[in-house]
Structure formats: structure tokens, C-alpha cells
Structure 1
């Protein structure tokens, strides 16, 4: 397993993986030194994340290999189906997965998503449209949603 730290608009991001794929992407709140070199196994993920933050990419194609329970992987797969610039609610996600009563389990799996941004847990909001819990902090969730769906500048004339 190799690791790298890159600078993003939301803080230093840690990326971990190997030849089987990227297993973890997290944003860090503590100060961390940015990596001088990036291992080959991580290079494509770094490139695509940089393109995402530059507004030049809206989906990711590098190989991922998240570790979790079968249920968590099922939830994470459903998250991958939320289109760029769109949101869904925990309740809708629960219904999509076949059990409206599983809303808390879905929220828990969402919160344990190991692949920040790539598996877009930030696109899940409360049924009332509120920005509910986010492991990276609500300010980051708000930033990501605005990044993916910027307001349209209207003409005055």
C-alpha cells in the first residue's frame, strides 16, 4: 500500500492504494506535508482529482478498491450512480436500495465512505434539502455541491 498527500482547495488530501486500486481518499484537517513524488499506482487518481478541482472533470475512471461490508459496498455503489451536479436524499437512497426503513444504516454506510469525492457521498442531503452530516465538515460539503453546480450568472440587460 502506497500513500500520497496532495493539496486541494479543501485541504490536504491523503490518497492510498496499490495495484488493485485506490482504497482510500480522505481530506485532512491537520497540517501535513505535500508529497514530493507520487507513486505510479496513485498517479492517475492524483491527475483526475486535480482535473476535478480545476473544473475539467465530472467523473472518475481510475480503479477503486474500497474496503467495507457487503452492505456498505452496495450503498457506495448506489452513490456512484448519483449524477454530477445532482443530489438525492438519504430516504430516496434507502428506497432505491429496497428498504425505506434502512435509512439509518444507509446514512451510516454513507458516513464510512472511504473514497472522498470519488464516491460522491457529498451529494446526499436531507429530505428537506438541508446539508446534513458530512465527515469532512459541512463547509466542505457545501463547497463541493457549489463546485459541481455553480450559480448561473444572469445578464442585467
Structure 2
């Protein structure tokens, strides 16, 4: 561990909610080629959302998981996303067949981290007509910019 990393970790240990320090640490991790840890730190800082998916290497499809009544795992282009690695582990441990992942050999399985950067692009004002919300919500007014000007 380098002196720089010890400094980041000491700062985060003192103030775990310092999102600026966490973001700087994530950037530093990226510069060190530690992309996985950088993504996790950006997620902790609220700069991105991190999801884990189980992918079948042979065809690139993602696991949809399975319900207890299913004997095999379903696969699709989208797949199921887990928010925590521990949930992926628990899902895998829940499968009855320890020799494969729902019929797919373990050597054809990998866990992929998806990082979605959080970018706030606009805040739209909200108001309620007549000061009271109706049961249908028809009187909620969300003011959007003029689409003709926004696309130009």
C-alpha cells in the first residue's frame, strides 16, 4: 500500500461520509488500474450505481436467476441485476446442483460489474393546482422546458 492510498483511507476512516474524498480516491484507484475498486468507491460516494450480473461466457447472455420451482436458470440479453456481491453469492449458494450453475458449467460463468454513472441533468418544478392533490393525480403540474427549444 502506498503513502497516497494510506492517506485516502485515513481520511475516509475519519469521515466515511466525505464524498469528495471518496470520489478522489476512486479517481486515484482508476489511475492505478484498479477499476473494480474505483467503481465500488464511486457507488459509495453516490456518483454511480453499481450492479452485478451473472454472465454465461459462451454466448454473453445474462442470468435471470430462477425461482425455487424452476430446475434451470433462464438466460436473456438483459438478465437480473443484483446490488450487492453478497446477494450474488447467496443466489449461487442457493442452487441445489453444486456441479454447475443451473445446468451451465462453472467455468462458463462470470460475474460482471455494471456501473451506471449518476448525472443530474435538470430539475423540473412541481406544483399542485388548487393546492390540493386529487386522488387521480391529474392536478400535479410538472413544468417541462419547451421541447422545440431544448432540442435545437
In terms of fraction of residues, the more strand-rich structure is 2
Per the normalisation by structure 2, the TM-score is: 0.25
Larger radius of gyration: 2
